[in-house]
Structure formats: structure tokens, C-alpha cells
A and B are shown apart, each in its own frame.
Chain A
Amino acid sequence: MSAGLDTGYQAVMARSTQILRNASGLDYDDFRRGRLCFDYEGLMAATGYSLEQVADVQRRCKVGGTPLLELSNLTRLARSLAPAGMGARILVKDEAANASGSFKARRASLSVQESKRAGYPGVIAATSGNYGAAVAAMCAMQGQCCIIVQETFDSRGVGQPEIVEKGRACEAYGAEVWQMTVGPELFYMHLRLLEESGYFNASLYTPFSVSGIETLGWEVAQEVRGLTGRPPAAVVVTHAGGGNVTGTARGLRKAGAGETQVIAASVDLSGLHMASDTQFNRKSFTTGHTGFGMPFFTNPDRADVPHNAARPLRYAHRYVTVNQGAVFYTTQLLAVLEGLERGPAGNTSLCAAFKLAQEMPADEVIVVQETEYTGAGKHPTAQLTFARDNGVRVVRGPATLDKPGEVIAIPESPEQVAYAEIDLQRVRASYLRGRLAAAEVGDYRQLSAAELEYLAEETNLTRESCLALLKRAAE
């Protein structure tokens, strides 16, 4: 521990701003504009990397240029459920082909390069997901030291198999892995390790991380254009912290595909408390779920950076949820119908796309923009065995039978693969209420024209619509 510094909880949390500033090389205060506004594009430009430069870095890091695969059997199955002339072609971007096995390598590549350029002795990331392995792999090839901090165990010392596997992968790539019990104090541990090591904070929420995903949206737009002459009608994105939605949509826009619908999809884990020691091991998905997805929509700045570069409300056209059983079912179909063993968590978007495709014309394309590697622990049979051993029932049936933490319902037929639509207007209203409260704006009528403009951008609304929503939210 750093000599002379108090490492108690309160003391470390009180130093968080300074610790994060030292560990990022970015002064977020430079982008604040008054009590409420923030120069978001200024922050994104502060990385100093153009899209082409990012793609160059990624090529050197064995990242990007992943295959775009046509899922013809799943498309046929979806069409059999759709009215005549309906049933979009389902394509998937096989992101498992990136070094470390997921799209997260795109996010890690730039952060690790930046840590090296800025002279940090190593890199830390706090993550229980694929991002840990991604950072560890990028550090391995760029010669940086790496520490990964992950929430792994409950108080009995029982680890979630998916997270244990990711911890193993991090270690395989040469990282020092800190495995923690359940609790939001992960952030405190992260700060302590940043302070004592002097390493770079490869947060998922920096502009480096989000810029790294822009190449994915760009590739999708260009590749589908090559195939059909136009960009895809829709791209479905598994959503947790918001970076995947944000980066993909920005990449689509940079490729001139701003009309493409960006649809966020999460596994519905409503009812489970994410910081509960006893509920921790009653969930079968450790990412891509509503426990992250919803709060990161309404309050993106609950992150380990002063201002989150991942802002899904700016970019998502729709937000849908699917149940755990349906994602396992879709994962099984991907294996037995398409010969691709991937996921399961990364197949959240595929699950939603299977239903969404049925509602789109047959001459349109819907893209599932990621797959992830599968392996011991990180596999439907591993997760469902673990669920059963932790008292969760696994049955066949529709989503209505699915109850997070109690019942996992695997569809009885392809028709039972369904999604639930989240009303984004309500999400926007919640964001606006929180934002006004945080900036201590008592009444929306006190907002300046610039502030209203900013909130409209944040919620992807016109000024008029934003004003109308502010008015409704205040009533």
C-alpha cells in the first residue's frame, strides 16, 4: 500500500476523483460546461485517434475484420413463423474471432496502447466479464503488466462458473487476478489497486474504450453494403454498460448508416438485487442483463470515470428484453442448426433478433453484432447445472413462466422466443429527472437554451420533444 496513505473505505473513496484523474490521463473538468452541460464530442475527440487509426491499432492487435456470417437456417425458421413476405435475413458478426474471444478486445486495444504511450507501468480493469480477458490479452501482446479485479464469489466461496472461467482466461494471458466477494466495494478495491500500483485505469467507460467499438459498427455497415447494396435495416446489440450500443451506433453513423435502427437487448433479471450475497449465484447471466442495462440507461455516470463515454440513450432507437431460458434456447439452436457453438451471454442479441426478424420484410437485413467464445463454465449446460444446484428450477415453457432467481423457462417451440419492449420515453423521463436533480435544477423552466439543447442530444430527441417530456416528467 502507498506509504502514509489511509486505505480505509471512507478515506479511499474521498480520494476517488484524484485517483481516477491520475489513472486516466484525462481531466474531465476540461469538458464540463456549467452546472449541467458536458462537451461529449470534445471528450470523444480527446483520444486523438481517428477511426482509421483505431482500425490500424486493432489490426496490429489481432482485433477486428471478423467474419459476417449468414444464419440461413435460423432465418428459414424465423420465416416459417412470419407472415408471407416477412422475415429478415439474420446475419451475425463473429466477434469470437477476435484475440481473447469477444468484441471486448476492440475496447481494450486502444486503452492498452494509450497506457503504454502515456508511460504507465501497467493496466487495471475492474470487470467480471470478457473485458478482463481482452485487457489481459492486449497487455500480453503489448508487453504491459495487467491486474484484473472481478466480483467472483458469494460469502461461501462459491464462484459463478462464467466468472471463474473469465478469471482463468485472464490468468492464462498473464494477468494478476483479484477475485472478490459480492458487493459494490469492488470500486473501492479498484481505487486502492490503482493508487498502490500507479497503473492506468482501463475503464470500460473511457472514450478510448468506446472509440474502439466504432470500428465494429463501421465494419457492419460496410460489409452489409457490400452484400446488399445498402446498410442493414437493424442492428441488435447486447446491452449492459452502454458502450456496445454507443460505439456500434457511432461507427454506423460514421459509415453513413445513421438510418439503421439500433436495438439494445438485455436479459431480464428484474427482481434480483445485484449486490445481494445470497442472490448472486441465482442468476445465470453475469452481464448483458437489466441489472446493468437499465441503470446505465437512466444514469450512465454511475461508472468508474467522472463522465461516462458510453451513453446508450443518445443512440438506441429501441430497448428490448428477453428471458434467460430463451437465450439458452437460442444458443442451442445456433449450435445445432448453424454449427456455431458460441455464447451464451453474447447471444442475448441473437435471441431478440430471431423474433425481431419475423416483424421485418424478407428483403431486409438484421445484424447481430457479436458472438463470444464459449468454454467450461461459460456454456448453457454449465450455467443450467449451476442454476439447478442453487435451487433454480429449469422447465420448458414460455417467457411468462420465467422468474429470475427461481425459474428458467426454456421455450417449448421457436414461437415462444419473444421479447418485451421497454418504453424508452419512460427511461428518458427517468434520466431527465435524475439529471436535473444532480445539477440542482428545481424547475425545467429554469433551463437555458443551451442546457435544453444538451438534454435533447442526451436523450436523442428534438428540442421540442425533449421540452414536452420535461414538462410531462415534472407533472
Chain B
Amino acid sequence: MEGCEARRWVEIGFTVLEPAQRTARLPEDTTRVPYEARVRGFAVGACRLGDEVEVKTLTGRRVRGRVVALDPCFAHDFGRPVLELIEAGLEARALLRLLGESPSAAAACARGGAIDSEAAAADRAGGEAQA
């Protein structure tokens, strides 16, 4: 297991309340799990993943817990492409262009439900070719 020198940036976790200690006002699924906390900071002593350790947080306060991550990273991202949104964007741009050319046709499109997204893309390609 990877070791950890003192002053390494780590994430610790601990149980704040066991299921039986939790408030009574909870939905059934939540009553079955403990209430847990995670905090990040500099490990005060050497430690490995899973060790109980004290960390010094960014405010300089000390908190104890079990190491759940060494060099914890933020892995959130922008996700995968969402075709429904890409299509909606193309449709709206085609609609706006149509508004400039034929307001009544555009209004009918805006009301008439889905615009064919391939046609919208073709419209866009046509517009770019003209430009």
C-alpha cells in the first residue's frame, strides 16, 4: 500500500452519527445508513490509506479521521455530449435565421413541435456555404 509522508494533502472521513443516533425525521432509506463527513487537509503524521490520522485544514484547525484518499482530486467534468441539447441548439439557430427571412414560417415552426434536426443541420450548412 502506498505510504504517505507528513504534510501530504489527504482526505479523511469519519462517521458522525451511527444509524441509531440519527434524527427520527428521515425517510426509511436514509435511516439505514450512517451520517458521514469528509474533510481535506495536510496529514500531521505519516500515514497510509485507511489509517487513522490527524489533518491540519486550510483554516489551521485539526480534525481526526480515517484516510480515504491520498492527493484527493476533483474528478467532476462536463460529462458526455448530450445530443438532445446539441439538436435543440441547432433547431433554435435555424429558427432564428428563418425568422429573419420568413417570420410567419418561423412562427409556425416554433409552434409546430420538433423541427427535423437533420434539416436544421442542412439549413446551417447551407447558411455557412452562403456566408
Contact = CB atoms under 8 A, between A and B. Distances in A.
A227 B5 CA distance: 61
Contact of B59 (A76, A122, A181, A277): A122
B110 A413 contact: yes
A96 interface: no
Interface stretch (A103-111, A172-180, A311-319): A172-180
Chain A at the B interface: SS class:
mixed
Interface string B29-46: 110111111111100000
Interface string A329-346: 100110111000000000
B37 A275 contact: no
Given A178-B39, A277-B30, A332-B88, A80 B79 contact: no
Contacts of B93: 336-337
A413 B30 contact: no
Nearest to B90: A336
B20 to A, nearest CB: 10
Contact of B92 (A155, A181, A337, A386): A337
Given A179-B38, A275-B30, A394-B84, A332 B76 contact: no
Interface stretch (A216-224, A257-265, A375-383, A454-462): A375-383
Interface in A151-172: 152-153, 155, 159, 161, 164-165, 168, 171
Contacts of A279: 27, 29
B58 interface: yes
B27 A415 contact: no
Given A80-B110, A176-B57, A413-B115, A277 B33 contact: yes
A182 B30 contact: yes
Nearest to B58: A176
Contacts, number: 184
Contact of A411 (B25, B35, B88): B88
A188 B25 CA distance: 13
A184 B31 CA distance: 12
A466 interface: no
A185 B16 contact: yes
A34 B107 CA distance: 59
A145 B41 CA distance: 15
Interface string A52-87: 000000000000000000000100110011000000
B109 A145 contact: no
A472 to B, nearest CB: 30
Interface string A361-380: 00000000000000011011
B3 interface: no
Contacts of A276: 27, 29-30
Interface residues of A, number: 68
A384 interface: yes
Nearest to B74: A168
Given A9-B22, A185-B22, A276-B30, A336 B89 contact: yes
Contacts of B57: 176
Interface in A171-203: 171, 174-185, 188-189, 197
A287 B62 CA distance: 31
A385 interface: yes
B23 interface: yes
A385 B80 CA distance: 6
Contacts of A17: none
A223 B101 CA distance: 33
Given A152-B38, A165-B74, A336-B89, 19 more contacts: A147-B59, A161-B76, A179-B37, A181-B37, A183-B35, A185-B16, A185-B35, A273-B27, A328-B85, A377-B76, A380-B82, A384-B84, A394-B84, A396-B88, A411-B88, A412-B113, A413-B109, A414-B92, A415-B110
Interface of A: 8-9, 73, 76-77, 80-81, 122, 145-147, 152-153, 155, 159, 161, 164-165, 168, 171, 174-185, 188-189, 197, 273, 275-279, 328-329, 332-333, 335-337, 376-377, 379-386, 394-396, 410-416
9 contacts: A76-B96, A168-B74, A176-B41, A177-B39, A181-B35, A184-B25, A185-B16, A385-B79, A396-B114
